[in-house]
Chain A
Amino acid sequence: MFTEIVRVAWRSIRANKMRSFLTMLGIIIGVMAVVLSSAIGLSAKAGVTQQVENLGSNVLTIMPGAASSGGISRGFGTASTLTTKDVTAIQQQDPDVEYVAPLVSTNQQVVYGSNNTNTAIEGTTAAYQQIKNLTMAEGSFFTQTEVDNASNVAVLGSDAEQTLFEGDFGSPIGKTIQIGGVPFTVVGVAASQGSSGFSNADDAIAIPITTATNLFTGSDTVNEILASATSSSTMDQAQLEIESTLRVAHQLTPSESDDFQITNQATILSALSGVDRILTLLLDGISAISLLVGGIGIMNIMLVSVTERTREIGIRKAIGARKSVISTQFLLESLMLSVSGALIGLIVSAIGTEVVSKITKYGNLLSPVAVVASILFSIAIGIVFGVYPARKAANLKPIDALRFE
Chain B
Amino acid sequence: MTMDETAAGRASQPLIVIRDLVREYEIGGQIIRALDGVNLQISRGEFVAIMGPSGSGKSTMMNMIGCLDTPTSGQYVIDGFNVDNLSEDQLAALRNEKIGFVFQNFNLLPKTTALENVELPMMYAGVPGRVRRQRAMEALERVGLADRMHNRPNELSGGQQQRVSIARALVNNPVLILADEPTGALDSRTTEDILKLFEELHQQGNTIVIVTHEDEVGRHAKRIVRFRDGKVELDTTSHEEAGVLGRVH
Chain A residues within CB distance 8 Å of chain B: 1, 4, 11, 15, 311-312, 314-325, 398-399, 402
Contact = CB atoms under 8 A, between A and B. Distances in A.
The A interface is mostly helix, strand or loop, or mixed, namely helix
A322 B92 contact: yes
18 contacts: A1-B124, A1-B126, A11-B111, A312-B109, A312-B110, A315-B107, A315-B109, A316-B109, A316-B120, A318-B68, A318-B107, A319-B95, A320-B93, A320-B124, A322-B93, A398-B68, A399-B69, A402-B103
Interface in B45-81: 63, 66, 68-69
Contacts of A402: 68, 103, 107
Return the 5 tightest CB-CB contacts between A and B, nearest first. A320-B96, A320-B124, A322-B89, A399-B68, A315-B107
Nearest to B103: A402
Contacts of B66: 318
B125 interface: yes
Interface of B: 63, 66, 68-69, 88-89, 92-93, 95-97, 101, 103, 107-111, 120-121, 123-126, 168
A343 to B, nearest CB: 25
Contacts of A399: 63, 68-69
A15 B96 contact: no
B68 A325 contact: no
A295 to B, nearest CB: 27
A312 B103 CA distance: 13
A77 to B, nearest CB: 77
Central interface residue in A15, A311, A315, by most chain B CB within 10 Å:
A315
A321 B88 CA distance: 10
B124 A322 contact: yes
Nearest to A398: B68
Nearest to A321: B124
Contacts of B121: 319-320
A324 B89 CA distance: 9
Central interface residue in A11, A319, A323, by most chain B CB within 10 Å:
A319
A237 to B, nearest CB: 76
Nearest to B123: A4
A1 B124 CA distance: 8
Given A15-B111, A398-B68, A399-B63, A319 B126 contact: no
A392 to B, nearest CB: 15
B124 A319 contact: yes
Contacts of B107: 311, 314-315, 318, 402
B239 to A, nearest CB: 34
B62 to A, nearest CB: 10
Contact of A319 (B63, B89, B111, B168): B168
Central interface residue in A317, A320, A324, A398, by most chain B CB within 10 Å:
A320
A44 B101 CA distance: 66
Contacts of A323: 88-89, 92
A263 to B, nearest CB: 71
Nearest to B125: A320
A391 to B, nearest CB: 13
B177 to A, nearest CB: 13
B68 A320 contact: no
Contacts of B125: 320
Given A1-B126, A312-B109, A402-B103, A319 B68 contact: no
Nearest to A394: B88
A11 B112 CA distance: 10
A120 B125 CA distance: 87
A314 B110 CA distance: 13
B76 to A, nearest CB: 15
B96 A319 contact: yes
Nearest to B128: A1
Contacts of A314: 107
B81 to A, nearest CB: 14
Contact of A318 (B93, B101, B123): B101
Contacts of B103: 402
Contacts of A325: 124
Contacts of A324: 89
A32 B167 CA distance: 50
Contacts of B110: 312
Contact of A317 (B63, B69, B92): B92
Given A315-B107, A318-B101, A320-B96, 12 more contacts: A11-B111, A15-B111, A311-B107, A318-B66, A320-B121, A321-B92, A322-B92, A322-B93, A398-B68, A399-B69, A402-B68, A402-B107
B123 A1 contact: yes
A241 to B, nearest CB: 82
A9 to B, nearest CB: 13
Central interface residue in B66, B95, B123, by most chain A CB within 10 Å:
B123
Contacts of B95: 318-320
Contacts of A318: 66, 68, 95, 101, 107
B6 to A, nearest CB: 24
Contacts of B92: 317, 320-323
A305 B125 CA distance: 26
A1 to B, nearest CB: 6
A311 B110 CA distance: 10
A399 B88 CA distance: 12
Contacts of B109: 312, 315-316
A315 B168 CA distance: 12
